[in-house]
Structure 1
Amino acid sequence: MAHDQRRRIPRTDVLLAELSAFVPTHGAPAVKYAIQQAAEQARCGEISPDEVAAVAGAQLRARAEDATSLQPLLNATGVVLHTNIGRAPLSAAAKEALLSAAGYCDVEYDLEQGTRARRGRATLAALRAAVPSASGALAVNNGAAALVLATSALAVARQRPEIIVSRGEMVEIGDGFRLHELIGSTGARVIEVGTTNRTHPRDYEEALSPQTGLVLKVHPSNFRVEGFTAGVEIADLAALLRRAEQEGRVPAPVPLLADIGSGLLGPDALLPQEPDATTTLEAGADIVTASGDKLLGGPQAGIVLGRADLVDVMARHPLARAVRVDKLTLAALEATLRGPLTPTHRALHHDLDELRARTAAVAEALDAQMVPTCAAIGGGGAPGVDLPSVAVALPAALAPRLRTGTPGVISRVEGGRCLLDLRCIPASADAQLIAAVQAARTEA
């Protein structure tokens, strides 16, 4: 025991004093934790007692350089909105907006009057400007929150808890969340009408009652039913509801809510089957809900657009406080709406000839082959829509090494090959991609 090296490990208070320069930036608990980790390494014989201070200091410096454990990645999968790696990448304008809003800002403060103002008023104005068909707008923390808030405020709170929805639209969203369970969590009752493949106007007519709070139309954005199918269009549903109100069969109003999912605000010729907020409202929907981090190309958010009186009811419901967005989301969303084309839009509409030229240059630099492939939209949007694309083909064994490199490169392994689709990678990062592949080859 007289020669036990563990006795030479300096006391924690001595090491805290030696590493006190890190306290202002890291805080005393973090510095103490780094010391404890290094001391444990010394007790296990991994380092000498004399190295504890140096190892703890190195850990603290590394943490200062890496402010977050989230790793930046290059998306070479060809999936534009890849949920597992963050869906829509923010535009440069949105990133700048995040920095501007990171400190004190007038998120709900009127600078002229010196009084409290409506939270996120400029962002809501930008939403209304982007969709003139909507007289009201609201932003919450995701699409599911928008639907739960609408159900709570427009149906349950008015003691009309029945939500009518087609059985063919009873979707399951990411991570096992199911539509009927989500709605049921508010105290509402889902009234399923029609069948899996066919729903008719009479199905909705027969389900209407004095307990009907909402009629919900859900875009099945992550699957597609083909063959012997039938559905009811928004315009027909709106006419059906107004007729039922006029005839006194339901107490007015029964709002028609359309969950369009992917956040397309206006028509896009590339996606003719994908519903957009403008067209849906013009067809007769009272409220549209959507996601901000899908086809809109912005931050995670739930977007509510539609009749101002109904949106105001939602905004005043107590649940609105629980699902409201923070100043960073408001800033990034406004910049997305007012700023230049987003990376998502550019990836979707990438010129194929330009993409071929870039891919050929990268393939040549890597002495690899360029092959035809198909990209996808992803993010639960436009199922079955393939985007013609090209990729650099490499041995499949490189895929795990690319994932764990710096930066990480997420590829697609298909047919025994590691495919790198440049569609979602900015041209300015091509050299970085080449270097990452060369480094992965060196590790082999």
Structure 2
Amino acid sequence: MNKSIDKNILMRNLPSIDKLLQSSIAVDSININGHNQTAILIRNTLSALRDDVLNDRIKTVEELELEKILLRFEQQLKQYENKKLQKTINATGVILHTNLGRAPLSRYVTRAALETIENYSNLEFDIETGKRGSRHDYLRDILCRLTGAEDAVVVNNNAAAVLLILSTFAKNKEVIVSRGELVEIGGSFRVPSVMEQSGSKLVEVGTTNKTHAYDYENAITDDTALLMKIHTSNFKIMGFTQSLEIKQIKEIGEKYNIPVVEDIGSGVLIDLRKLNMPYEPTVQDSINQGADIVSFSGDKLLGGPQAGIIVGKREYIQKIKKNQLLRALRIDKVMISLLYHTLLEYDKFELPYNSIPILDMMSKPIDELKLKAQGLYNVLLEDINFNGIAEVTINETKAQVGGGSLPNEYIDSYAVCLKPLKISVAKLEEDLRKGKYHIISRIQNDMLILDVRTLFEDDFEKISAALKQILL
């Protein structure tokens, strides 16, 4: 048995940073992460080892052999790699997974945008006149065609869009909102907090479950700047409820000469019933019902990059464009290009399934998903002998839209399910998540679920390779 020895002797057995930098794993890391970052990771490894020695977690020289130290460094390296922004494989069945970046962009859109991004462009240059142009014009023109609005402007997210609208029209003034629409979105961002930040005063009307026209009218004062409707896209109030449609609020707005704003949230540009999904109000519906200003997100049901899109009547959008806050909230050429090419797909096709991945995922027929699950199952069985290591089946399951859209709506789907026999299902989930391809799955009924609705077929071989490494 190895005996514990003096800590000073153990400390002297620790190798130098320079020696570890000469190891093959460090050389590989230097090629990927650079010399400085690799040296930092080695320094952290040695620091942790010293701490282990001082606290009697390491007591023998054998525990400080070079191979064991390099294993510790490899663990440090893996932790560092897992903290990088990188691709994941979404096998959760949640289409707009907020933690996984919401809407994936199509390769066509990214390639078309790249042509502009990696070169000089006419971002703020008018080719016809040879003079300065506006970055807002490209998105304005196509958004007006798609929504029927008179004008448009885009900022970096929908919270910024709401902040900009309130700052423009309601600073030190009142904004009337139904109490049942005071939503909280991800990251604890709340509508009342955004209003407070803008300098406007929130006036709540009605109750949580019922708001009437007279509630709005009774709250109107000389300080009322806006009537605001907020679409509750991330929750539903069921049962004994009543709320006003935007056209009803518009009637009140016209009566008292007060602009009407709708934050529609998810930003739907097509009737989702065409995808066999529940009805969700579209931007066009809001414009047609008379909303003066409408704001919505770019990276939810629209299927594009993160953006806060504002459309509406020209007189109001022009005032928004003159707000100095716009410059702080504007989007850059990368987001403009990605959003522009996403919107072009809506302009070209009534239902752009092929070029907007989330629409393809949402609309995929169940029989095609069954075949897709069979395809993944076949790839796995060709590569791996599961006898004695896991039970593998194809099962029906339920997927979700997610991303704060269509709450409580589940979509029929299919999944390849694994029940490991030699390790726990939690361990399998962890190893897939932390492995080379970062496969994000879910656990249900003590089985690992790989929902094919959110998988790309290009990922099948990677899933197989990851499972083979873990299970065999």
Q: TM-score, normalization: structure 2?
A: 0.78
Matching residue of 1:291: 297
Matching residue of 1:435: 465
| Equivalent residue letter for 1:123 | L
The total of aligned residue pairs comes to 412
Matches within 5 A, 1:25-40: 31-32=35-36, 34-35=38-39, 38=42
Instruction: Report sequence identity in percent.
Output: 36
Does residue 263 (structure 1) correspond to residue 278 (structure 2)? The answer is no
Within 2, Cα distance between the matches of 1:39 and 1:400? 27
SS of aligned partner of 1:382: strand
Query: Are 2:17 and 2:39, in contact at CA under 8 Å, matched by a contact in 1?
Result: no
Within 2, Cα distance between the matches of 1:36 and 1:272? 52
Q: Highest relative contact order (Cα 8 Å, sep 6+), 1 or 2?
A: 1
| Equivalent residue letter for 1:256 | V
How many Å apart are 1:314 and its aligned residue?
Answer: 0.9
Matching residue of 1:170: 182
1:90-130 CA-to-partner distances (Å, cap 9, x unmatched) read 11122114422144322112234332210142222222222
Within 2, Cα distance between the matches of 1:406 and 1:33? 20
Does residue 76 (structure 1) correspond to residue 106 (structure 2)? The answer is no
Identify which of 356, 359, 362 aligns with 2:370.
Answer: 356
Alpha-carbon spacing, 1:42–1:207, altered in 2? closer, same or farther (3 Å): closer
Matches within 5 A, 1:197-276: 197-245=209-257, 254-269=258-273, 270-276=276-282
Point out where structure 1 has 5 or more consecutive residues left out of the alignment.
16-21, 246-253
SS of aligned partner of 1:294: coil
Matches within 5 A, 1:98-109: 98-100=113-115, 101-109=117-125
Within 2, Cα distance between the matches of 1:309 and 1:194? 30
SS of aligned partner of 1:232: coil
Alpha-carbon spacing, 1:37–1:408, altered in 2? closer, same or farther (3 Å): closer
How many Å apart are 1:5 and its aligned residue?
Answer: 8.1
Matching residue of 1:153: 168
User: RMSD value over aligned CA atoms?
Assistant: 3.4
Query: Are 1:193 and 1:207, in contact at CA under 8 Å, matched by a contact in 2?
Result: yes
Q: TM-score, normalization: structure 1?
A: 0.83
Within 2, Cα distance between the matches of 1:112 and 1:370? 58
Query: Are 1:171 and 1:179, in contact at CA under 8 Å, matched by a contact in 2?
Result: yes
Matching residue of 1:19: none
Alpha-carbon spacing, 1:275–1:34, altered in 2? closer, same or farther (3 Å): same
Matching residue of 1:391: 415
| Equivalent residue letter for 1:441 | L
Identify which of 149, 153, 158 aligns with 1:143.
Answer: 158
Query: Are 1:108 and 1:119, in contact at CA under 8 Å, matched by a contact in 2?
Result: yes
Within 2, Cα distance between the matches of 1:219 and 1:440? 45
| Equivalent residue letter for 2:84 | S
SS of aligned partner of 2:209: coil
SS of aligned partner of 1:70: coil
Alpha-carbon spacing, 1:216–1:427, altered in 2? closer, same or farther (3 Å): same
Does residue 312 (structure 1) correspond to residue 312 (structure 2)? The answer is no
SS of aligned partner of 2:408: coil
1:189-242 CA-to-partner distances (Å, cap 9, x unmatched) read 100000000000000111112211111101111111111000111111111211
Query: Are 1:290 and 1:304, in contact at CA under 8 Å, matched by a contact in 2?
Result: yes
